[in-house]
Structure 1
Amino acid sequence: MATMRMRTSTSPHFPSFFVVSFSVLFSSVLSETRNFLPIGFTLSVEDSDFLTSPDKTFTCGFYGMGENAYWFSVWFTNSMDRTVVWMANRDTPVNGQGSRISLRKDGAMVLTDVDGSTIWESNTTSTDVSKAELLDSGNLVLKDSRGKIFWQSFDFPTDTLLPHQVFTKSTKLISRLGRGTYSSGYFSFFFDNNNVLTLLYDGPDISSIYWPNPDFNVFANGRTNYNSSRIAVFDELGNFLSSDLLQFSASDMGFGIRRRLTMDYDGNLRLYSLNNETGLWVTTWEAMLEPCKVHGICGKNGICVYTPEPKCSCPPGYEVTEPGNWNKGCKPKFIQTCSRSQQVTFVQVPQVDFYGFDLNYSQSISRDSCLKLCLEDCRCAAFSYRLSGEGLCYTKSALFNGYRSPDFPGSIYLKLPASVGRFESANLNGTDPICGLNDSMIMMGSPSMYDSISKGVRWAYLYWFAFSIGVLEILFIVSAWWFFGRHDMPDSMEEGYRAITSQFRKFSYTELKKATKNFKEEIGRGGSGAVYKGVLVDERAVAVKRLEGSYQGEDVFWAEVSTIGKINHMNLVRMWGFCSEASHRLLVYEYMENQSLDKHLFSTSSLGWKERFQVALGTAKGLAYLHHECLEWVIHCDVKPENILLDTEFEPKISDFGLAKLSQRGSSNSEFSRIRGTKGYMAPEWALNLPITAKVDVYSYGVVILEVVKGIRLSNWIREDGEAQESELTRFVRVMKRKIKCGEESWIEEIVDPRLDGKYSRRQAKKIVEVGISCVEEDRNERPTMDSIVQALLECEDPSSVFATVL
């Protein structure tokens, strides 16, 4: 419970009893209204009052769990479990003693912990603010005496949307991590870059969109991306309406019912109605009718099964990584090697499939042929084979998003060492706990934790916890002061936190200056800055990018680091660290021995056909990951040969992803063309000022692969008829379309780089040109997606070019 206290200071010439009398009188008034907090007052954990909305539906105050974990929250007063609809500090609970929320005289609402450190603060300061008020809608607002709102909790939702709470492109619902905890989880509901409401799993290993159905395009899913408002809302009747045409209604539609729309910890979005008599919630609509189709629900290698409720199980040859925590999934009981001497077997698991991570897709193929594809590919962990009119084969490089369904017309065949597979059963009992964290994994302060230990141990734990938090806070403060030398403590602490919690190493400027010999050897230069070769003290060769100009902006830099931290793919350059020191902003990447594609494609040294096809396929896979498997809003915006690096095996790795997409579009200035990309590779929509989508990358990729086949720049301008000018690309596409339409057979030989001396695959060259031409269509809706491009190229991949071994 919490009480309201007025901050006052007694003057020597002002009778103290007058202040006391005023405080008592004003507290009496507050106890009658109880729905607002005046300026200069506080709510503390250990005392006895809350804010309550006038109609008593909502309560605001410190929400406790266990004995020493509290969150400043808003919850339903009359629900049996006091259902929380908003939290200020969901990832940072405060102590049960001495923590308080204050409405300061500068208009900011501030949450402080027992040691006085600021845990949360409203993003507003205005001397016009007179009070914080809890409305009947469940909205906590800061307003002035005339009713003008300066800040509201409705603009910063956690996992729940309430009636008349507007949902926009800048808001997101993020699930809880599991039952018994309120910290942020892995599932989110938001408007994606295509203006479509989306459900995303962003877990420890992968990011993947699972609703609406990722197998269909926007329009097949009954949505539209032809809207720029990106706004949604639902009313008291239970009707939901969005600008992308998503509509649904509660099954008990009508007035007088309390409702909420919640992104649940199991990855499902549900609309709930409150039964006033029992205080329990009833589900009246849900997005996922098949809960096992939620991505990531059982972690890596895990399989979701119906028993009949959804539960998690490990496939044959695998075991639970961390009992009770399905976020960690299952781990193999064996070590898979590519040794020719290792004997393997395939274990069939009927009616089970794993979504995504397809190495190969084949139609009208026998099961034995599909098995052979997986057997000969060291990367293959399993293959999916289904009979739905024709034999469909999918070889898998990794096992994610597994589920068993009686409607699935096929099986997964797990590739296991023979010594393991012969003892494994394909039975999936689903006896493990329901997907998500179980009650034994509750975070600190949960009842189950404290009820199971003695009082002495309990207090010892609390003291140890408080001490640990204190040490961490001191480390954050000292680190921020030492590294950044700032006196504005909130900013420096935030940057220190970012640096320390980042998974990358933080280099000093002196280290990188020494590693690059004072930035001596420049190996590349782009719109964001120059790249230098360096050697670290552990003798690792690195590429150090020195950001210049607008790219040194604080928000842009940290957003780039944060974005790359969630991205991991074999065809994307790996980042090893960063430097943020004074005005210096540097990124440290793995060094690519064969440098960039342009140095091989447009020089005297030429690439062979095998390497060229490998570049086309690998680059497509990297972009498909950014567009589809990762986060849909990751758009490269500057795909070109200079940004495609080659390792020792000439495997392509895309670099410079992230910085361009994070830059803001502004007025036409000197930076504008740099932000948009590189002339010759830029999609027409940049010039037409159309909304930028992933199709700009598809266009640029098309230009690149056409250059891969032809071996020259297609971005150069040529003169026609002595006057008019057009690009090489425009003429090339026009001529190719005419030749293909007329059925000419010799066009491939005419366009393929003569330096290859005829040593190339005619089938592959034809496919690349056809794909490239479709990619550079002026109408972006006519361009293919990157995942469909990958499938098209895989269909004509030369089996002899794939690493194979006898197992």
Structure 2
Amino acid sequence: MRDQTLKFHFLLFLLITISLFHSANSNYLNLRRGASISVEGNTLITSPDNSFNCGFYALPGSNAYWFAIWFTNSKDKTVVWTANRDRPVSSRGSRVSIRGDGTMVLTDVDGSVKWQTNTTSTDVVAAELLNTGNLVLKNLQGEILWQSFDVPTDTLLPSQRLTKNKRLTSLLRKGSFESGYFNLYFGADNVLTLISDSPETSSIYWPDPYYDIYTNGRTNYNSSRIAFLDDMGMFHSSDKFQASASDKGFGTKRRLTIDHDGNLRIYSLNNSTGLWMIAWQALSQPCQVHGVCGRNAICVYAPIPKCICTPGFEVINPSDWSAGCKPAFNETLSNSQVKFVEVSQTDYFGYDIDFQPDFSMEACRELCLGDSRCRAFTYRTWGEGHCYVKSSLFSGFMSPDFPGSTYVKIPRSLQVSKPSIFQGSSNTCEHREAEILVGSVSKYDSTRRMVRWVYIYSFCGALGAIELIFITLGWWFLFRKHGVPASVEAGYRMISSHFTRFNYGELKKATNNFREELGRGGSGIVYKGVLSDDRMVAVKRLGDVFQGQDHFWAEMRTIGKINHINLVRMWGYCSERRHRLLVYEYVSNMSLDKHIFNSNFLGWKQRFAVALGTAKGLAYLHHECLEWVIHCDVKPENILLDSGLQPKIADFGLAKLFQRDGPGSEISKIRGTQGYMAPEWALNLPITAKVDVYGYGVVVLEMIKGIKLSNWAVGDTDDHEIPLKTFSRTVKEKVQCGCGNSSWVDSIVDPRLEGKFSRKQAETLIKVGLSCVEENKSKRPTMASVVQILMECEE
């Protein structure tokens, strides 16, 4: 009996010892008052569902530690909150504890306080990490007295609120927890805003600073300021801004983060790989972020965003472009010692110490020379030349469609090379990305370059032939056995912004077995449908030419990143076996041609609104989309009108799926429509965004006249440009004979309006239309300049 008792006590002692040893090295569900966590102990506070951990966190290769919260199941243990982001502690002797007065304190090895909560209540009993990722201090009654959700860093988690006095602040750089210069917050106007707030400058870059609140789709009539990401992947803001993750739905871990590059993104976690997927981002063009490249630097696409220095300047820190570039010369120079170097298709945001419209470039140059503060001047060709004198060069941005150049003042003795980023035609209708080449100061011998590329092309050709066999067999097997591979799906989702994947059965049911046809064209047939959530949609069933996977995913890459009020929105897609379907929003008032060329015609106010809205949509495609999309078939039939008669451009991006001279291509259906095609098509010249400008010009002139110009042909002729030439010549003669008055306008405008229109707007629109249909594409304006001109006479 005594032996059994001794055995019992021994076993009990052993179990207690094992338990104590285990607990000393395991995670806590809470940290109680009077207890502490040390950096050496490697002890963590864990959420009940094990989604989040809280404790000491060190970056790879660093002896510094941060008290942080991170995702347990992400591959890189992604941090979502840090207490001491700008004040790391030592790897020895640092600890977190809850003191007797209820304050949670982080101390360094020497006992100095690096961070503490603002709680001094003796009611605090413990710190807990909730399943939401929120670290809280609670009292005995379970009430929250402090929470990490109230002091966010760079990340917003589902159910966390961003309110009036809170902001998200980016990391200074990748691989660091230091506070950066980009912030998300509610401004004084109640609008959710992204701002670059560096020591040298402060500049709002989202929503688009070029437009007002309402044009950006926001409102400032909201008494409370609140934004949050919900469990479905929807981001809501009280200023009426909304966004949704591409994989919207329950059951996925997500976060909203303002990244070190200044962009705001929703990320979704892939549980099987532990990797994050970009499910939405605020800016499709990263170079729109002000200050991302620092002072005297330019953001370019090559083809991914990168920074280069303005000619005459050199980078300060190659590992940190936010520091910008410094001049390689003494900036104190007399006029006789300076010259100007042209930086083509480049603008710098703000810092205009003078602006002069309708100015010659020589006068602009003299204006800069006459002001000692001037560092450069930008000359834009919007109709007449516009002159902007710059005192500083911040937020440089190079775009192939920027209508002008910046001329930088440098010493006459300094030899520099102008960056030549855009060679040839960057914007093409062919199935390829925008071609962007980065210029270099160095010059290479042309013969060496040719030999090098011949070698590379030969090697790639041989290698490609071998790979083609394996790729063909691999894709055939995967699609035949399993449908679309998960890797392709993941790739699509990364570049999409608001898609939902539908199955074929859903769309078949939504369209009542594809019963009600809305229209058909070269790309496929469109059917009317109603989704299960009662949304009216237009479902496009793509034709056989779209059956190839490369074609289909190319369209996804283009359309998936595009979202604008004047473009038909795409809600989702279906890709099952041979079925390829696209799901668009349903636009109720049919196409523009139904409201211009028959008895149910639009009034002048609506026509001008359609002209302006269409210009805005095309300007977005040409100047703001990362791929600089060209429509290639701008015509009234592709401009739809919503319930408020606002225009929405349809079928953008489809042209990228066709090769210009590919077998079976029909230029009348796919590559353009007679009467709206620019002369470049017939002359087989390189295609740029100016083909859309031409088509837009024809549409504008047709809206003004109220009839189809393509029906003006007299006699037998194959030249589809003759009717338009005749009309243009007639109008130009009337303009020249107008002698300063606008009486000639009445003879041009649709007589069905019975004189009820704005003469000023009509004259402006006529001149815009004529400039858009110039045979020489270099004389046509850009869509950005058209928007500017029309907005100046908007009533």
Calculate the TM-score normalised by the size of structure 2.
0.50
Larger-gyration structure (1/2): 2
Calculate the TM-score normalised by the size of structure 1.
0.49
**Which structure carries more relative contact order (alpha carbon 8 Å, separation 6+)?**
1
